[in-house]
Structure formats: structure tokens, C-alpha cells
Amino acid sequence: MSQNHQSQPQSMRPFFLIWGGQAFSLVGSQLVQFALVWWLTKTTGSATVLAVATLVALLPQIFLGPVAGALVDRWNRRRVMIVADGLIALATVVLALLYAFDLIQVWHIYVLMFIRSLGGGFHWPAMQASTTLMVPQKHLSRVAGLNQALFGLVNIVSPPLGALLLEVLPMQGILSIDVSTAILAIVPLFFVHIPQPRRKEAPAASGALSSVLADMREGLGFVWGWPGLMMILLIATVLNMLVNPAFSLLPIMVTDHFEGGALQLAWLESAWGIGMVLGGITLSVWGGFKRRVVTAMLAVTLMGMGITVLGLTPASLLGLAIGALFFSGFMNPIVNGSFFAALQVTVPPEMQGRVFTLAMSGSAAMSPLGLAVAGPVADAVGVQIWFLVGGVVTILLGVGSFFVPAILNLEDGATDAAVDDTGKEMDVAARASQIESAPSAAAQV
């Protein structure tokens, strides 16, 4: 790990210039996501098709995540984000042309979802790792809450706006909006400096491939040596296997169980989004408990209760389903924001690309298995069974985590603010040495 001092940013203006462009891009991406999923739903009416679409979008995260993380930690993160956003925009232009010339087929959408996921697999860890070096550590939890609130706001705006646009624009028109917002995200990246973590140079005789593999091994060793983190990743893996398929098939639940249409789907997704906005704002103001992992796992338990209620909701009570999604959405940003803020202040900047992508890959690894089973079963017996099972398991894992010392003491051995007695920021080497002691500290409790 780097022994060099990493200075703390004095201003958050550069970060918010980039963040603003990314916010517009997120809106465009969600509009396209809603429109494409609804197009697949109305065109095919098949839960299996939706499951395959989600599976295709997960594959790059699972198989390329560790490699992407190692490369993000080695490459210029600003260029990584520019290329990733540009690739996604180019693929969207091609899909728009296919719609314009009435050549579109289902497999074309699969390809676009794969490319979007591939670009996101590089962009997301690059942005998360860059945030650590562009935002003062004392504000990282606030930024995490702000990000979660943004995701929720986009979920509120995008479904009804997407439903409206589907009525007034052809699909290629909606896709062109996504391309325009992608440009808004790319342009600021050309003018804003993003700090790079200082890292040790590879030996001169080391080849590029062997060096990347060594970086991957280093990242795996770091995660493997942290029992609490490994257990949390295991929990995330199980939840992704059970819960993600249910939410991926929500459009089918709307049409088959509630006998609704695009408007009812928009209400449900907007309820989730409103919950996320309020949950993100709550986290930004409150900050959570002193132990961030306690905040996260309590929210996991409560989110599981909301999902369980959704699975038990009869077809005549759409309002109850909307309320259950609102409650689950409120808890979701508290889970994610607390967990990622903990990682951002404990994991050294030069390791974060690898750790974040390993977290992403690990949590997504079992989703294909769940999706492979969920599609055909949902076609046969209904989607709500997946919400019910996923909700109950989520509750059990959330409650059970409070009895595992390695999880409760995840942050032990790493300082929250990383400051010395004089109030000055500690260097990366000091924080790294604290982190390396975290597993033993957790095991002793």
C-alpha cells in the first residue's frame, strides 16, 4: 500500500461539478431503463424475457468486476469515466437507429443492457473511489446520503415521466434524451481535475498482465483478511439471489397480480423512489448510529419487513403495496449509505477500486441463479412468492447479524475521521495500518 500522504480536498466545488453532470445522466439512464423494460413487458409478456434481460445486465458485474477494479486503481479515473460514459452513449445511439428504421429485436436490447452494465462496471467504482479523494472525510456520510436521495428522486421522476414520454415520443426520441444527458455528464470531466491515489510502482520486469493479476490478488487478500466484510458480502449475496429477481419482475406483478398498466407500475416505482429520497435525507441529517454497521443492519431488518408485506398484499390492495414499497425504499439508502461511507473512510484510496468492485461482484454473483429460477416459476405461480421469501430471509439475516461480533465490529481498528490530536488529517499509510488490524480487533470481541 502507498506510504505517501494523500492531502484532503479544500473545496467540494470540483466534485459537485462532476456530480451535477452525473445526476442529469442518471435521469436519462432511468428513463431509458423504464421505457425498455416496459417495451419488453408489453411486447413479450414474459417474465422469462425480463429475467434474461436482468441476467445479461449482471454478467459484466460478476465476471469483469475484479479485473475492472484492478484497472480502475491503476488507470486515470477521469479517463475511465469519460470512456465508460462515451461507450454507453454510442451504444444507445445505435439502438435508437434500430428503432428509427424498425429493425429492433429483443436481442438488440440484451446487447445494449450488456454494454451499459460493462460501462457502469468501470464508471461506478471510479466515481466511488474518486469521491474519497474529492470530498473531505467529515462529509462522506452526507454525500452518501445525498447520493441515495438522488437515486430516490430519479426513481420518483423517471417512471411517470417515462410513462408520459412513451405516449408522446417514439422510442428513439426517448433514447436521444439519454444520449443528451450523457453528454452533460462527459463534458465536465474534461475540465475538472480528479486526484489520483499514490501507489507503489510495479517492478520494471513485471509485465502488464502479471501486474494486474497481482493487484487483483492484493485486493482479494485484503477482503479475505477482513472477516466482518466477508460476512457482509455473503449476506449481500444471499439477498441478491432472493430479492433482486422479485424487483426485476415487478412489471409482471403489476400486469398479472394487480391487473394494472404503466401508470400503476409508475406509482409503485415512484413510491420506492420517494422513500429513497426521504431515507437519504434522513441519513444526511441524522448520520446514523456511531457504528455505521448497526445502522445498516437495523435498516436491513426493517426493509425485509416491508418486502414481506409486499409479498402478502392481495390484488385488491394496491395502496398497501405502494406503502410497503415506500417503507422498503426509505430503508434502502440507510443500508447502502451507511455501508459505503464505512468503506470509504476505512479502505485506503489506492485499494478502493478493487474493494468496491469485489463488493459489487460478490453481491451480484448469485443473482443469475435466482433469476434463472425466478422467471419460469413466476410465469407458473406468480411473482409475489419471491417477495415473500426474500422478505423473510432478509429479516432473518438482519436480526442474525447482531449476534455476530465480526460484523458488529467491522469498523474497529479504523478511525472514523482519520484525524490526529492536532486535528490534522492522517496519511494513508497510518489509516492502512489501522485497517490491517481490524480483523484481529473484531475477532477479539
Task: Supply the DSSP string of 97-155, one letter for each residue.
Answer: HHHHTT---HHHHHHHHHHHHHHHHHHHHHHHHHHHHHS-GGGHHHHHHHHHHHHHHHH
Cα dihedral 337/439/220/357 (nearest 10): 0
Task: Give the separation between CA 352 and CA 347, rounded to whole angstroms.
Answer: 6
What pLDDT does residue 92 have? 92
Task: Give the separation between CA 291 and CA 284, rounded to whole angstroms.
Answer: 15
The DSSP 8-state label assigned to residue 424 in this structure reads: P
Contact 300, 243 (CB under 8 A): no
What pLDDT does residue 20 have? 85
pLDDT at 6 over 60: no
pLDDT interval class at 120 (50, 70, 90): confident
Mean local confidence (pLDDT), 143-157: 78
pLDDT interval class at 430 (50, 70, 90): very low
What pLDDT does residue 398 have? 93
What pLDDT does residue 382 have? 76
What pLDDT does residue 22 have? 85
Say whether 260 sits in a helix, a strand or coil: coil
Q: How many C-beta atoms surround the C-beta of residue 204 within 10 A? A: 5
Q: How many C-beta atoms surround the C-beta of residue 223 within 10 A? A: 17
pLDDT interval class at 82 (50, 70, 90): very high
Which residue has better confidence, 107 or 430? 107
pLDDT interval class at 2 (50, 70, 90): very low
Task: Give the separation between CA 195 and CA 197, rounded to whole angstroms.
Answer: 7
**Selection from 4-8, 105-109, 203-207, 267-271 with the highest mean pLDDT:** 105-109
pLDDT interval class at 150 (50, 70, 90): confident
Q: Which three cell numbers stand for residue 264?
A: 400503476
What pLDDT does residue 5 have? 40
Closest to 250 in 3D by CA, of 158, 382, 366: 382
pLDDT at 363 over 70: no
**Selection from 75-89, 114-128, 264-278, 309-323 with the highest mean pLDDT:** 309-323
What sign has the CA pseudo-torsion 236, 240, 242, 244? positive
What pLDDT does residue 308 have? 95
What pLDDT does residue 395 have? 96
Q: Assign a CATH topology to domain 13-190+206-444.
A: Growth Hormone; Chain: A; (1.20.1250)
Closest to 386 in 3D by CA, of 412, 413, 367: 367
Closest to 72 in 3D by CA, of 270, 215, 243: 215
Say whether 170 sits in a helix, a strand or coil: coil
Task: Give the separation between CA 232 and CA 216, rounded to whole angstroms.
Answer: 20
Which residues are CB-neighbours of 13 under 8 A, at least 6 positions away?
none
Q: Which residues of 52-88 are buried (b: 16+ CB within 10 A; e: fewer)?
A: bbbbbbbbbbbebbbbbbbbbbbeebbebbbbbbbbb
pLDDT at 204 over 50: no
Name 425's bridge partners.
Answer: 419
Query: pLDDT tens-digit profile of 19-51?
Result: 888 888 888 888 888 888 888 888 888 878 887
Cell 422467471 found at: 375
Which residue has better confidence, 414 or 272? 272
Which residues are CB-neighbours of 383 under 8 A, at least 6 positions away?
47, 246, 249, 250, 252, 253, 256, 257
What is the residue-averaged pLDDT of the chain? 78
- Stretch among 263-272, 392-401, 404-413 having the lowest mean pLDDT: 404-413
Which residue has better confidence, 203 or 118? 118
**Selection from 52-61, 352-361, 384-393 with the highest mean pLDDT:** 384-393
- The amino acid that residue 338 corresponds to is S
